[in-house]
Amino acid sequence: MSKLFGTDGVRGIVGKELIPQFITKFALAVGAFFNEGARILVGMDNRGGNEAIKRIIEGTLILSGLKVYDAGLTPTPALQYVVKTEGFDGGIMITASHNPPEYSGIKVIGPHGIEVDRDEERIIEKYFWEEKYRIVSWRSAAEKVVKYPFVNDLYIDSIVSKVDVGKISRRGFKVLVDPANNVGALTTPKILKKLGVKPIVVNGNLDVEPARYPEPTPDNLLETAKLVPQYGCTLGIAHDGDADRAILIDEKGRIHWGDRTAVLLAKHLVVNRGERGRVYTGVSSSTIIENVLKQLNIEVVWLKVGSVDIAHAMRKAGDALCGFEENGGFMYPPHQYVRDGGITTALFLEYLATEAKNASELFDELPFYHTIKTKYKMSRDLALIVVEKVKEEFRNERLITIDGVKVISNDYWLLVRPSGTEPLLRVMIEARDEEVAKQLLERIDRLVNEVVNK
């Protein structure tokens, strides 16, 4: 039985992997996973094909004996929040997050608002391959899809309630928002307005062909970043397609990776809000977090890359201050355990208001590393061979091997791992010296070529 779930849900190209036969079969497996009569909330982002996918899923779930509620267009964290707080038994989010526009995907959410864990994924996969389904009688199948148009408003109000609105509104902030022509446009500007912040929105119309690539990386945000100082904004916020990630741009137009933002937010939670706990993050995050947070007596827990694993680890431990990924996914447990671009935005504005400093000043307080992030197109099998070669090449350094291999030295770190969502080998390098970073990339290049050209 082959694996259906990647790092974050099931994904594929609409009309190629995501065809009616597959969608129906997968929805039947999900229907069998939940108990008959379970209340399931279904939402989607604005990707092409999502309306068709949603209709197939909703109809199939009804035939499986579930009660289906339609949230319409909504960010992933909004759907997750409402599943958790409004007594739903689960949810389905139709999105491919940061993937190219031709992709979509399906995320299965449990009653706690977190995507199902890896063991539960395996149960759904088993039902899929063994065709272990539940089809109810025609009388039970008479259920109708119930419209549930309250999701975005409930989510917005929750975020606003978690921060000091008065402190933020008194600063007269102006924030540029780039929601990548997707559902973040429905919530983040409204959050800002309720916080007394003036939003300036670019790429804000809903469009299946976004003006920029959906993944909020520095390469994809160059034009957006220029607009932040041009419009005299306090801050810039860039989302991915389903708005569970937020990459920050300071007032000078500098783009900051999510792990640097998260370190500042962790400091804010401890120093200004008096909160305590451990910090949970994936191995793709910078080792800067250990250097900075140990000064606050905050322990860092390293985990596999993937927000699902981080969220479940935090929930089970019950001692988390926060969790995050370097890609801009920040998780604040008092709100919810999952990554959430809206709460990231609100908390950082509260931090700015509390410290009375510019964003650039706050980021400049962190140690600076030269960063290289690249990827190689290859099968997972070849990627795993490269990982073994890297382990051997750097065998005398500190190695973390829970997801690919992370090499940690005194003046650099690097991570080499297979992607969980695409046929790629991902490579991340950070070094205090730019030349050292380039030399490390050359060493990885050599190892990749040895495998690919063998």
Q: What residues are annotated to the active site?
A: 97
Beta bridge partners of 199: 175
Annotate 364-409 with DSSP letters as a single string. Answer: HTSPP-EEEEEEEE--HHHHHHHHHHHHHHTTTSEEE-SSSEEEE-
279's tokens: 């910090």
Amino acid of residue 65: G
Amino acid of residue 399: L
Tell me the CA end-to-end span of the chain in Å, nearest whole number.
Answer: 29
CA distances from 199 to 52, 232, 341, 347, 426 (A): 32, 12, 15, 16, 34
Q: Do residues 73 and 81 make contact, with C-beta atoms less than 8 angstroms apart?
A: no
Q: Do residues 403 and 304 make contact, with C-beta atoms less than 8 angstroms apart?
A: yes
How far is residue 255's CA from residue 92's CA, in Å, rounded to a whole number?
32
How far is residue 26's CA from residue 104's CA, in Å, rounded to a whole number?
14
286's tokens: 């910078």
Annotate 247-312 with DSSP letters as a single string. Answer: EEE-TTS-EE-HHHHHHHHHHIIIIIT----EEEEETTS-THHHHHHGGGT--EEEE-S-HHHHHH
How far is residue 68's CA from residue 86's CA, in Å, rounded to a whole number?
14
φ, ψ dihedrals at 437, nearest 5°: -60, -45
Is residue 280 packed enough to be buried (19+ CB in 10 Å), middle (13-18) or exposed (0-12)? Answer: buried
φ, ψ dihedrals at 212, nearest 5°: -130, 160
